Structure 1
Amino acid sequence: MPAPASSPPPARPRGPKPTRMDADQLLDAAQEVFARDGLRAASLRAIARQAGCDPALIYYHFDSKEAMFTALLDRRIPPLVEELKRLADPSDGRHTVLRLWEVLGIYGRRLGQDPGLRSLVRGEIVRGTEGIQESIQSRLFGAALQVRSILEQGVQRGEVREGVDLLLATFFFVKLHLEVLDVLPVVAPRILGLTPDESVAKGERAWLDLYWRGLAANPAAPVPPLPDSRS
């Protein structure tokens, strides 16, 4: 005799949708939807479902999903740029490699716990949703200029070799570090038996060593030891 069909779980009671919700709560929901569906496939209705509110509430704060995406960037990128500006001050006399190590720390603090946003930004740069590419690039370019400034000062101090394309050097520095943040926590625990945090820490040091040896005016010259903590 076939087993009796199990009865479906009782429906969860649903209360009234909130009539007030601040912009940050809506952006948190939008980030979840964007990371899951991508910007093109996402809809304001899906974001409202994620937030548990009426879609009309979103329009109180934002004109469109593209405006929400731009607001997400503005939550993350300007604080990162301000930290990098302080680090790129020419009065900072530390060795260039120590300042680059600090850059990795800033990126880790500001973006390390946000893989969904990082992957979304990379995807939109490649796909090029109308208007969004320019929005991303205008914000990220400010961060890139600060890293470039640090490298340029390194050339002037004789620590970075002359003739390096500093914008490309900046691109590879940031791009591959983001890969360290995204890939190593997944792969290294299986291959190296490290925790995700340990894998990122070791990966950052290994990546900076490889990068610096290709950039240094004298690759064989000793460099200051990298501190364990970064302010």
Structure 2
Amino acid sequence: MTTPPIKSRGPKPTKVDPDQILDAAQAVFAEEGLRAASLRAIARQAGCDPALIYYHFDSKETLFKALLDRRFPAVLHDVERLADPADVRPTALRLWEVLLIYHRHLKDDPGIRAMIRGEIVRGAEGLTHLIEKRVRPIVVHVSRIIEQGMARGDLRPDLPPLLTTFFLVKMQLEILDVLPAVLPHFTNLPPQEVLLTGMRSWFDLYWRGVALHPASPLPPLPDPTA
């Protein structure tokens, strides 16, 4: 006689794909931070057995890297093309397109923004380096657009390119996070116009600070939703 197989007392593992696990990890990391997060919490968020996470990812750090690599290569690709010195369009238009790139890739993903901001503020050892490694090439390419604008006489010659880049991009991320929640309480703008109005207002203020001739009119700026 053969011994019948032992039946599992626990729930059967649920199949999940890697993106579902990454979405769950991102939500948990954004709320708790990577160090405090547990794989059990991520599995609970994903609706799967913790063992299935190990099938795809061998650690929380691997999950974190995969989350960064799910977004930043596409941003880098677009910014790298925009920084081509052969692009002779007005510097104002190219800098506006930097904002459009961030809008396009990060607008609908508040989780990645919250996760990265949280880890930078916490200063977790090793994680800040992982973030910097992916962000630095993007910043370098945007700063090249700044340098090209200075060389072409569009921007003030005394600008520090890296800081000028930081203030451009940092405010765009704040706009994506804060403006849709706050601005409707202070204006009568329809919800679909809040983000665009905030972006244009910010860019106009920014441009007046960095342009060699601040009174010069801005070129037509493409709509982010176009």
Q: How far off its partner does 1:17 sit?
A: 2.3
Distance 1:196 1:15 in 2: 44
Alignment partner, residue 10 of structure 1: none
Which of the numbers 165, 185, 199 marks the counterpart of 1:204?
199
Alignment partner, residue 47 of structure 1: 42
- Corresponding position: 1:168 with 2:168: no
Secondary structure of the 2:99 match is: helix
Alignment partner, residue 85 of structure 1: 80
Q: Quick one: which amino acid aligns to residue 16 of structure 1?
A: K
Which of the numbers 138, 146, 150 marks the counterpart of 2:145?
150
Q: Following superposition of structure 1 onto structure 2, how do residues 1-231 of structure 1 map, counting pairs within 5 Å?
A: 16-18=12-14, 20-229=15-224
User: Does structure 2 conserve the Cα–Cα contact (< 8 Å) formed by 1:17 and 1:52?
Assistant: no
Distance 1:75 1:195 in 2: 32
Secondary structure of the 2:189 match is: coil
Distance 1:196 1:63 in 2: 42
Q: How far off its partner does 1:75 sit?
A: 0.1
Secondary structure of the 2:66 match is: helix
User: Does structure 1 conserve the Cα–Cα contact (< 8 Å) formed by 2:68 and 2:131?
Assistant: yes
User: Does structure 2 conserve the Cα–Cα contact (< 8 Å) formed by 1:48 and 1:54?
Assistant: yes
For residues 125 and 174 of structure 1, do their structure 2 counterparts lie closer, same or farther at Cα, with a shift above 3 Å needed? same
Q: Quick one: which amino acid aligns to residue 55 of structure 1?
A: P
Structure 2 unpaired stretches of 5+: 1-9
User: Does structure 2 conserve the Cα–Cα contact (< 8 Å) formed by 1:26 and 1:58?
Assistant: yes
Q: How far off its partner does 1:175 sit?
A: 0.5
How many residue pairs were aligned?
217
User: Does structure 1 conserve the Cα–Cα contact (< 8 Å) formed by 2:75 and 2:105?
Assistant: yes
User: Does structure 2 conserve the Cα–Cα contact (< 8 Å) formed by 1:151 and 1:160?
Assistant: yes
Secondary structure of the 1:42 match is: coil
User: Does structure 1 conserve the Cα–Cα contact (< 8 Å) formed by 2:196 and 2:224?
Assistant: no
For residues 230 and 141 of structure 1, do their structure 2 counterparts lie closer, same or farther at Cα, with a shift above 3 Å needed? farther
**TM-score of the superposed pair, with normalisation by structure 2:** 0.91
User: Does structure 2 conserve the Cα–Cα contact (< 8 Å) formed by 1:105 and 1:230?
Assistant: no
For residues 229 and 199 of structure 1, do their structure 2 counterparts lie closer, same or farther at Cα, with a shift above 3 Å needed? closer
Secondary structure of the 1:135 match is: helix
**TM-score of the superposed pair, with normalisation by structure 1:** 0.89
Structure 1 unpaired stretches of 5+: 1-13
Please give the root-mean-square deviation of Cα atoms over the aligned residues, in Å. 1.6
